[in-house]
A and B are shown apart, each in its own frame.
Chain A
Amino acid sequence: MRGRLPAVLWLTCVWVLLWGTFTPASIVGGLVVAVLVTALFRLPPATDRLPVRPLRICGLVLFLLWDIAVSGVEVSWEVLRHGPRARGAIMAVPLIASSDQVVTIMASALSLSPGTMALQIDHDHDVWYVYALGPRDDADVDRARRRVVDMQRRVLSALGSPDEQAEAERLLGRMS
């Protein structure tokens, strides 16, 4: 039951938001539904617990919101400026993350970042392949690559281990 607690809380939250009323009935109803759903549809237990750093997680959420705004503007600008002559690049970027949950969060964060998405994740070699819209020459490609690593650094500073954070810093240092 303890492992299911986050899922139960989250589902209850969604239920209450769907009803749009904060009444005891909707909260209790949500709890009942959440317990039933998590009991009926068992997820494999999460192998590793993510560190809880509320402040940094809030910072990450704010950064992601900012990223959505920048993304929208940058992609729109690319459309207006280059349109049919737009170019893209697919890059191999080192993947610094040991747990599947962090990789999932990184892939989501990447698709909120300006003009990028993950195409393929190669866990065996710790590399992921990232598409970016916009680079027109090698210097641009390197800039885009740096941006991806920087995004990873931000996710790790909220959810990663100290070792992973140090590795991200090292990698960024090597790239500059």
Chain B
Amino acid sequence: MTDVVSAVLLLGGALSCLLGAFGLLRLPDLPGRLQAATKPQTLGLLLILAGTALRVELESAVTLLLVGLFQVITAPVISQLLGRSAYRAGAVRRDLLVADELAGKMPEEDES
């Protein structure tokens, strides 16, 4: 039974990571690709970790929890920094946005 659940989690995770990679190739602009690189990717990793945790002894499973936690904490920060820099550098394609309420409001120096 454990094997079945674990196999489902592992395969689901792999599929999610695959879709994330697919998104990197198919989505048209940088912020969109950032979403693909962070979200399906994070979900995929968490599923794979959960599937792995079922197969190993408890002490190693606990360490996997830490891996998941750091992924969840760090991925968003990176994507946000990249997204901001891209917008500031004009690397975000305006023609792909249905609304841009930040236009002309980005401060020149970084203060945050």
Q: Is A111 in contact with B36, judged by CB distance below 8 angstroms?
A: no
Residues of B within 8 A of A114 (CB): 39
**A53 interface residue (CB < 8 Å to B):** no
Closest to B82 in A: A117
Q: Is B80 in contact with A117, judged by CB distance below 8 angstroms?
A: yes
- Which B residues are within 8 Å of any A CB, using their own CB? 16, 19-20, 22-23, 26-29, 31-32, 34-36, 38-40, 42-44, 46, 59-60, 62-63, 65-66, 72-73, 75-77, 79-80, 83-84, 87, 96-103, 105-106, 112
Q: Is B80 in contact with A107, judged by CB distance below 8 angstroms?
A: yes
Q: Report B79 CB to chain A, min CB distance, Å.
A: 5
**A95 interface residue (CB < 8 Å to B):** no
In the complex, A84 Cα to B93 Cα: how many Å? Answer: 13
In the complex, A103 Cα to B28 Cα: how many Å? Answer: 30
Give 23 A-B contacts (CB < 8 Å), ordered by A residue.
A17-B63, A18-B66, A20-B59, A21-B59, A71-B43, A72-B20, A74-B39, A78-B27, A79-B22, A79-B27, A84-B26, A86-B27, A88-B29, A90-B87, A107-B80, A111-B76, A111-B79, A129-B105, A133-B27, A133-B32, A137-B98, A138-B98, A141-B99
Q: Is B27 in contact with A87, judged by CB distance below 8 angstroms?
A: no
Say yes or no: A117-B43 contact (C-beta < 8 A), given A84-B28, A129-B102.
no
